[in-house]
Structure 1
């Protein structure tokens, strides 16, 4: 997650409690509550009618498809409710998974609808939401109308003496009908003040009522947690496959451009040395000596490549020794502190190693830092990594940067990457991985 450290956001001049009555959000939420009653009546009437008819006809063949049609209709009305929640409540809610029939044809579709938990949740929503919609509609409309009527009373108080033959809003005090009316300047001012208090309080009441609607829509009309988890895992699997393919291409490129090219040149040099062995032994010996140097260089490249795939020190001695080796190759002094009671799962240990390795490479290449530090510790069932430097900052995990790719890799194993890097430094990158020991 990239942290924006640009110019600080300006505080609004008007406090939220005074802005709320005229904010678009308040009016949209109030409109949502006003529409909930007619929509809820339609939804409830359809769902109850189809459900009762379907259950009543279950003794015949017609009950099963009729019940399936009723549930399918509830799903269709659920699309309307989700669209209404997106438009008026600003909810980011995805459509649930579609019906999946086990067999092709009409009966397969009927079975899929009846077996789908989503369909039954839509039915429950229709039956539960209607009484709540009626309650919320009544409360919101009563408070809204009363608040604005009292607040604007000085503007329409003249209606009473002109058209109703009353000095103002009248209150009967006893059984004889004697009472009082709000007609003096003081009484009108007090009425307006009470209305102002209600006007300021009503948006928060409306917000509280719509919070219940948000829970109902998200819990009953959205995708189930299991389905959302499956979608997330499918996305993570795609990231893992892409990452593995990219790593294989990198290894192939390194072999082709590095060790393989050197070994081909070495074979050619040895062939020439063999031909010159009888004609010019000294030249042949010199060529063999050069080939020996090429062999050492090729072996070093192969060692570096193997270290990049999975270093032996990580397997043998764990993260402490492996990260110390990585830190020793960094261009700036790095303090390494690893405080782990045990070793995590091998896969998590490898991801942690390569995460720190890539972050230290960024420190060497881009940070212009004087010092850096690496801290690794366990927090409950999570492995925590933190790499910090005193460089120029400005690192950003958004877009197509290397940090963005690193964040995707961590997300594929339920990890999190957080970047705090204001311009001018310092930079702190924190990674969180599941322990899975």
Structure 2
């Protein structure tokens, strides 16, 4: 919910509407509107000069580098505007995508500046902001000063008879001494009351005017949606690479410390059994029996490891049977409901499975629950996985937790992890994944 002012502090008896005219935010936004006009005049003049000079010199070779330099200057002015918006409006806009020359030379830089959409958006901001800054300056100053002036009318009414030979504010005069002046007590009260209404409405008017400035700064001086999406995809790719590397290290560790070590020991035992086969057949047979048991254990470890990579039942039979088998290994009784009309893509199916697996592991290890539910369904273009339990609650996605890592991995595929876990329980964790059939 976008509101101009926060609710009153605990224990405050002053309503928000009465505190707003004296709020620091109101005066910061008013200062922003006051500064916008002179700054906009400078930026508009600069933009006109850049366009005129660059276009006029295009018939020569100088026009292109002059225009590129002008665009670079617009980017610098835009940086100052972002700082001003951050300081006075509390609007934190990221820097646009930097200029990346194709080759380290002057002409490479000139070409990169001219091809940069962010540079042209900064120049466009200089042109469009001026008429809006002019309007918002005049409207806000008139509205705000008129409100405070009328509210304080009883304090300065004396200036009319003292210096203007009038009893008060003159509403109209026919030129023959007949007119209406606000000098009666009732007139003074009504005038001051009208000023009070304007003062109380002023913060909301000023905030509404600065909303357009927020839109312009965010849309024209910030990164483009495409650049933001590319940056997000690069970050998500990094998360996926890190996760894959961590999984590979885990598999290598499990193989080295588990099945590999057991197979090495098994090979040594079989070698000793072969040496003893001629001189002590009974001891050799006993060692072969022990080796047979080691083989079974090694096979089970390999099956568990393969199940952790990608369970065969998931590939063969789908999410329903795979999640049922998964829930059977949970230390808490789990009720599984899978409502899918058909199977999603293998990648989404695998992510949903391992998401449910990690959430059920959290239930087993941390929840102290007596029962849990696992529901999977499809809604529109999203696959939903919901794990709930009646445990102690308190789960969160703060940095360093397993849920934080899970949230990062889901975000890498345009998924979302929602955690509702008040202290004392119950806990409901919902994972949303894009549906790809």
Query: What's the TM-score, normalizing by structure 1?
Result: 0.94
Match of 1:334 in 2: 334
Match of 2:5 in 1: none
Shift of 1:282: 2.5
Quick one: distance in 1 between partners of 2:85 and 2:420? 34
Q: Match of 2:396, SS?
A: coil
Correspondences of 1:167-246 after superposition (within 5 Å):
167-246=167-246
Cα 1:177–1:96 shift into 2, 3 Å: farther
Correspondences of 1:303-342 after superposition (within 5 Å):
303-342=303-342
Match of 1:358 in 2: 358
Match of 1:435 in 2: 435
Q: Match of 2:108, SS?
A: helix
State yes or no: 1:259 paired with 2:227.
no
Deviations 1:286-336 (A, max 9, x none): 222222111111111110000000011111111111111111111111111
Correspondences of 1:118-157 after superposition (within 5 Å):
118-157=118-157
State yes or no: 1:386 paired with 2:386.
yes
Cα 1:177–1:222 shift into 2, 3 Å: farther
Shift of 1:369: 0.8
Q: Match of 1:357, SS?
A: helix
Correspondences of 1:280-299 after superposition (within 5 Å):
280-299=280-299
Quick one: distance in 2 between partners of 1:335 and 1:109? 62
Which consecutive unaligned segments of at least 5 residues does structure 1 have? Answer: 1-8
Q: Match of 2:429, SS?
A: strand
Shift of 1:181: 2.9
Shift of 1:190: 1.8
Quick one: distance in 2 between partners of 1:64 and 1:275? 87
State yes or no: 1:51 paired with 2:51.
yes
Deviations 1:206-226 (A, max 9, x none): 111111111111111111111
Q: Match of 1:376, SS?
A: strand
Query: What's the TM-score, normalizing by structure 2?
Result: 0.94
Quick one: distance in 2 between partners of 1:227 and 1:13? 47
Shift of 1:279: 3.3
Deviations 1:124-159 (A, max 9, x none): 111111001000000000001001111122333333
Cα 1:158–1:386 shift into 2, 3 Å: same
Shift of 1:380: 1.4
Q: Match of 1:139, SS?
A: helix
Question: After the TM superposition, which of the residue ranges 32-41 and 151-160 deviates more from structure 2?
Answer: 151-160
Q: Match of 1:217, SS?
A: helix
State yes or no: 1:410 paired with 2:416.
no
Deviations 1:67-115 (A, max 9, x none): 1121111111111111111111111210101112223321111111111
Quick one: distance in 1 between partners of 2:59 and 2:206? 46
Higher relative contact order (CA 8 A, sep 6+): 1
Match of 2:3 in 1: none
Cα 1:13–1:361 shift into 2, 3 Å: farther
State yes or no: 1:26 paired with 2:26.
yes
Quick one: distance in 1 between partners of 2:313 and 2:11? 53
Quick one: distance in 1 between partners of 2:382 and 2:83? 38
Correspondences of 1:78-157 after superposition (within 5 Å):
78-157=78-157
Quick one: distance in 2 between partners of 1:174 and 1:313? 96
Q: Match of 2:428, SS?
A: strand
Match of 1:421 in 2: 421
On the 8 A contact 2:82/2:92 being kept in 1, the answer is no
Quick one: distance in 2 between partners of 1:385 and 1:25? 42
Q: Match of 1:342, SS?
A: coil
Quick one: distance in 2 between partners of 1:373 and 1:133? 57
